[in-house]
Amino acid sequence: MLDQSRIDALRHSPVPPAGHLIDGQICAASDGQVMDVISPLDGTVLTTMARGTKQDADAAIAAARRAFDDGRWSELAPAQRRKVMLKWADLIEQNALELAVLGVRNNGTEIGMALKAEPLSAAGSIRYYAEAIDKMTGEIAPTAPDALGLVHREPVGVVAAIVPWNFPQMIGAWKLGPALAAGCTVVLKPAETASLALIRIAELAVEAGMPNGVLNVVTGEGAVVGEALATSMDVDVLVFTGSGPVGRRLLENAARSNLKRVYLELGGKSANIVFADALDLNEAAKVSAAGIFRNSGQVCVAGSRLLVERSIHDEFVELLAHHAKAMKVGDPLDPTTNAGAVNSLRQLEQNLGFVAEAHEQGRTIALGGKRILEDTGGYFMEPTIVTGVEPSDRIAQQEVFGPVLAVIPFDTEEEALRIANGTEFGLASAVWTANLSRAHKMVRRIKAGVVHVNTYGGSDITVPLGGVKQSGNGHDKSLHAFEKYLDLKTAWIKL
């Protein structure tokens, strides 16, 4: 049970100005410039943070390169790296409520979700990869008797990680955990609107005994700091979660510099497909509502396209609206809130623009569609259901990244597949059916990195997350995440 009095105390605690973490030291931007941090809860200035420069990014990269090249981390015994990372995970867990509240004040996620999905998830991910450190082994190749072929796994070097604002602690840990466990050093660039908790998590890594320079954080604008990381000749791997246009820019910059490897988790327009033979339509509606409206729809894998078999369309939309209306939207630091704030005014206006365009096209706004609680100064939006959507509509093709659901009817399994696969994205999806054969066929034929069956969301760290098509490449989560941060080296020995 969340302690409301403790949450309220943390809600009003002052937040000191945030700086970079470079080579183990908190520091200001090289030119002294700062950025206001606006809280989406009330639209006021929460604090300031360093507005990073190219010089700051270069300094962090240089620190990471020194730390990698001198072996202070990469050549540390696996058991020693494991010990540091486990202590780090423990410290995150011990400070979980403080980290969760700080994160909510910064990005607006409801506290009930934030505590579990942010610091506690981050601690769990770091612990998972720490435990794997001393279990990653090389290989002996099956060679002729006069030769010995060995395959070594070695850390790639300096990793630049750029993470988004929706779940910065969780997604940050998905990248930091395997990169650091592999022996790499890291420069982390958090989102402009959600940096505070990640800076604190990095400070806890230093407190846990991580050597200076192994984990660095530079805050600021993507066009400056992100660009510097992507064009650097001294970054070996760049990992990014965010939008498609930015992902393309990072790939271009990698090509123009040192051909660094770039791994991208980009947008989604995930299809949530409900067949008439679903086991429990009410349960499907309840889970589907949470799958699009929790965190105000600001979830990479959100089920933002609902495909419903025509024979149950009206009934299902009514059930869905019932559960959406029951969701409490408002103060994200109230534990009874089900959906918190939209991250920024810019994002809120984008959400409303999608709804207005759909209305102008003659689509039906079956629920919501408006900004609410405007008197708080915060950025809140009603759960919104748009029906009568055509598969080619912009609202069905482009990622809204807000609490906006596009509903599309279908008649046959083939039509559902055609609509589900009919976007440039391929991140997540779901199928609700009692037909086991249909479920397996849909899993095989849907072009997405994740296919849920009779649920939406809920997968843990043991399975990979990655997209196909323009939803990206590479995988976060699971042991497969190590593949991004380890090089294979062959030793061929004549006997």
Each residue of 85-126: pLDDT tens digit?
999 999 999 999 999 999 999 999 999 999 999 999 999 999
Question: Within this chain, do residues 186 and 284 fall inside the same structural domain, yes or no?
Answer: no
Q: Report the domain count for the chain.
A: 2
Question: Within this chain, do residues 179 and 261 fall inside the same structural domain, yes or no?
Answer: yes
Question: Within this chain, do residues 192 and 278 fall inside the same structural domain, yes or no?
Answer: no
Please write the tens of the pLDDT for every residue from 437-469: 999 999 999 999 999 999 999 899 999 999 999
Question: Within this chain, do residues 216 and 346 fall inside the same structural domain, yes or no?
Answer: no
Paired tokens of 405: 């659901």
Please write the tens of the pLDDT for every residue from 228-271: 999 999 999 999 999 999 999 999 999 999 999 999 999 999 99
461-475 core/surface letters (b: 16 or more CB in 10 A; e: else):
beebbbbebbbbbbb
Q: Which domain holds residue 371?
A: 271-460
Please write the tens of the pLDDT for every residue from 381-435: 999 999 999 999 999 999 999 999 999 999 999 999 999 999 999 999 999 999 9
Question: Within this chain, do residues 192 and 339 fall inside the same structural domain, yes or no?
Answer: no
Question: Within this chain, do residues 296 and 179 fall inside the same structural domain, yes or no?
Answer: no
Domain assignment present for 465: no
Please write the tens of the pLDDT for every residue from 153-193: 999 999 999 999 999 999 999 999 999 999 999 999 999 99
Please write the tens of the pLDDT for every residue from 286-308: 999 999 999 999 999 999 999 99
The conformation of residue 225, written as its DSSP 8-state character, comes to I
C-alpha angle 130-134-139 in degrees, rounded to nearest 5: 130
Give the number of C-alpha atoms closer than 13 A to the C-alpha of residue 376, restricted to the C-beta side.
17
| Average pLDDT, rounded, for the chain | 97
Mean pLDDT of 211-238: 98
Give yes or no for residue 1 having a pLDDT over 90. no
**pLDDT score, position 113:** 96
In Å, how far from its chain's centre is CA 345?
20
Measured distance CA(445)–CA(208) in Å, rounded: 46
Measured distance CA(31)–CA(101) in Å, rounded: 30
Paired tokens of 289: 């509502």
Paired tokens of 26: 């908190």
Measured distance CA(82)–CA(99) in Å, rounded: 23
Domain assignment present for 467: no
H helices of 193-243, where?
196-207, 227-231
Measured distance CA(404)–CA(293) in Å, rounded: 8
- Whole-model pTM above 0.95? yes
| 219: CATH | 3.40.605.10
Please write the tens of the pLDDT for every residue from 124-140: 999 999 999 999 899 99
Mean pLDDT of 313-341: 98
The conformation of residue 17, written as its DSSP 8-state character, comes to P
A 10 A CB-CB count for 336 gives 12
Question: Within this chain, do residues 375 and 258 fall inside the same structural domain, yes or no?
Answer: no
**pLDDT score, position 493:** 97
| 437: CATH | 3.40.309.10
Domain assignment present for 466: no
10-49 core/surface letters (b: 16 or more CB in 10 A; e: else):
beeeebeebbbbbbbebebbbeeebbebbbbbeeeebbbb
Measured distance CA(301)–CA(286) in Å, rounded: 17
CA-CA distances (angstroms) from residue 32 to 19, 49, 60, 92, 226? 10, 10, 16, 30, 19
Paired tokens of 153: 């796994």
Question: Within this chain, do residues 63 and 111 fall inside the same structural domain, yes or no?
Answer: yes
Paired tokens of 95: 């400070």
Question: Within this chain, do residues 108 and 210 fall inside the same structural domain, yes or no?
Answer: yes
Domain assignment present for 58: yes
Question: Within this chain, do residues 341 and 194 fall inside the same structural domain, yes or no?
Answer: no
* 254 CB-near residues (< 8 Å, 6+ apart): 230, 238, 260, 261, 262
Q: Which residues are catalytic?
A: 265
**pLDDT score, position 121:** 98
**pLDDT score, position 458:** 86
Question: Within this chain, do residues 116 and 260 fall inside the same structural domain, yes or no?
Answer: yes
**pLDDT score, position 85:** 98
Question: Within this chain, do residues 337 and 476 fall inside the same structural domain, yes or no?
Answer: no
**pLDDT score, position 2:** 86
CB 237 within 8 A of CB 156: yes
Q: How confident is the model at residue 477 (pLDDT cuts 50, 70, 90)?
A: very high
- The torsion angles phi and psi of 364, rounded to 5 degrees, stand at -95, 125
